[in-house]
Amino acid sequence: MTIRLGLQIPNFSYGTGVAELFPTVIAQAQEAEAAGFDSVFVMDHFYQLPGLGTPDQPMLEAYTALGGLATATQNVQLGTLVTGNTYRNPTLLAKAITTLDVISQGRAILGIGTGWFELEHDQLGYEFGTFTERFDKLGEALQIILPMLEGERPTFSGKYYRTVEAMANPRFREHIPLMIGGSGEKKTIPLATRYFDHLNIIANFDELPRKLDVIRQQCDQIDRDPATLETSMLVIALIGEQFTADAIPPDFQQRAVFGSAEQIAEQLKTKLFDTGVNGVILSPVTMGGYVPGGITAVAEALKPLISG
């Protein structure tokens, strides 16, 4: 798996009726594919997130939506950024991701994290618990999911999950790429270096050099070549010359880029790529509706930075 330029679709509020909602999602994925993006991601949430909208705004179930995108695209990798482990039994998640890999002819990515949106858990009846409990759940889940993805039939009995010779057939590939999101130096980064192909770093731009140092240290401890753990960052993109620094709330300024395609490319070079992060996953602001052409222009401006 290589993620140099990904697209995240962060909301489904385009000012259209429900009938036009998914066609608009397809149009974004197809534009990204035609523009040279290597991957397309959706959020794994059931309610819209704080800062993006109110909880009752449209939100599609992730793996159903990805299955639809798999039939509407040909080349882009498809996944969630990232799956909330608490929302599905690990055996169901293994089945969902292997099914997506079959439907997409080998383009699925398993992105996974602990889950964090407490309102969803409370209103929909999912156990939330403490961060430590959610992290322990993820650790148990990986002991089930990873063997199943490799064609094994794990029997497992833990505090949270149990299986008896669980299996997921059919499988399209021997290995589905694994991504984890986060940047915790005590838990997430060590877990990423031990089990994952890709770490999507959730941090501010000015924190990236330290996070990369910690990644190298953790890789050294387990004798892993740091170059084998790809890295990316999810970056909010306000595409258009009408956007200036004043348009970005202070909370987002360390995780957002803005302006013309050329300005965005320059900001990504200095704030992201020059630190050593391998790739970027852009989350374009589309709350006013999807405007075709924006991500294509950004992809063109980024080509000199991401080629090779």
Task: List the chain domain ranges.
Answer: 5-306
- Angle, in degrees to the nearest 10, between helices 294-306 and 18-35: 30
- 5-306: CATH topology is TIM Barrel (3.20.20)
Give the pLDDT confidence score for residue 286 in this predicted structure. Answer: 67
Kindly state the tokens that stand for 262. Answer: 């050329």
Residue 171 and residue 143: Cα distance in Å, rounded? 18
Whole-prediction pTM = 0.95
pLDDT the model gives residue 10: 86
* Residue 233 to residue 204: CA distance in whole angstroms: 9
The tens digit of pLDDT for each residue in 98-108 reads 999 999 999 99
Number of Cβ within 10 Å of residue 295's Cβ equals 25
pLDDT at 308: 58
Q: How confident is the model at residue 15, as a pLDDT?
A: 81
Question: How are beta strands 156-157 and 162-163 bridged, if at all?
Answer: antiparallel
pLDDT score at 300: 96
The confidence score (pLDDT) of residue 248 equals: 78
Provide the pLDDT for residue 11.
Answer: 86
> Which structure tokens are listed for 144?
């089930």
Stretches in the chain below the pLDDT threshold 50: none
Q: What is the pLDDT of residue 135?
A: 94
Contact between residue 6 and residue 39 where contact means Cβ atoms under 8 Å apart: yes
Which pLDDT does position 244 carry in this prediction?
84
List the structure tokens of 34.
């035609």
Q: Is the dihedral of CA 194, 196, 197, 198 positive or negative?
A: negative
